[in-house]
Amino acid sequence: MPIDLKVHVPNPDIKSIIHLINLHGKNLVGMELGTHRGESFLHLLQCCPNIQTLHGCDHYEAFTDYITTPYPTGAPAYSVDQQRQDWNEMLCRFYIKHSGNEHKAILHKKKSMDLIHEFEDNYFDFIFIDTYLTEEQICEEIPAWYKKVKNKGIFAGHDWNFIPLQNYLHQFRKANNITGTMSVYDNTFCWIKNS
């Protein structure tokens, strides 16, 4: 029997774009960057029957997150040691195994910028990015992974409440002449790519 989302994972980061993904067509290929415990990944597997293949990426190494709200605080938001990361990976793999849709899931245990070279540009129907831990990573990962989204695909991410992310996204959209509406809700941003 698949995991009961309401009991085990009631509040995933990706919840505000589930409808958008479900209305986006059939046989979608998607990517979640920063799977962590697998809560959003599990929701995508169980709530989006139109996903054909769902890739996930996380390096599962100890880390310190500097994406803090309010900004700036001068201190990291939190740190996760290797033991906790081992637990996060185990939980993510458990969720996948018991999702009822394990056959759709591919979990890559890599850093996102090492994985990126395995996919051609314009490959994914949607990407949800939540890997960045510093402002430098925001500036590196967003433009790199944006190229991997198909025209008319969904580009989305987490941590909208982090002011440097907001500033970077506005600059990125302006520099790349992205004029389509960006929707923001519940600390998540998304827009449809028009190239």
With pLDDT > 70 as the criterion, what percentage of the chain qualifies? 97
What does residue 7 show for φ and ψ, rounded to 5 degrees?
-85, -50
**What pLDDT, on the 0 to 100 scale, is given for residue 34?**
97
Return the bridge partners of 76, or none.
none
Tokens at residue 8, please? 């085990």
Mean pLDDT (whole number) for 125-141: 96
Q: Is the pLDDT of residue 137 over 90?
A: yes
pLDDT tens for each residue of 70-97: 666 667 888 999 999 999 999 999 999 9
Residue at 40 is within a domain: yes
Residue at 65 is within a domain: yes
Spatial CB neighbours of 113, under 8 Å, sequence gap ≥ 6:
140, 141, 144
Residue at 56 is within a domain: yes
Mean pLDDT (whole number) for 27-46: 96
The least confident of 9-13, 127-131, 158-162 is 9-13
CATH number of the CATH domain containing 166: 3.40.50.150
Tokens at residue 170, please? 């506005």
Asked if 55 and 115 count as a contact pair (C-beta separation under 8 A), the reply is no
Interhelix angle 82-97/39-47, rounded to 10 degrees, is: 10
**What pLDDT, on the 0 to 100 scale, is given for residue 72?**
67
Ramachandran sector of residue 109 (left: φ over 0; alpha: ψ -120 to 50; beta: rest): beta
Residue 134 CA to residue 139 CA, distance in Å, equals: 9
What's the order of all strands across the beta sheet hosting 183-185?
A: 105-108, 51-57, 28-33, 124-129, 149-158, 188-192, 183-185
* Residue 75 belongs to domain spanning: 28-192
Overall pTM surpassing 0.75 (yes/no): yes
Q: How many domains does the chain have?
A: 1
Ramachandran sector of residue 27 (left: φ over 0; alpha: ψ -120 to 50; beta: rest): left
**What pLDDT, on the 0 to 100 scale, is given for residue 136?**
94
pLDDT tens for each residue of 46-75: 999 999 999 999 999 999 998 877 666 667
Residue at 120 is within a domain: yes
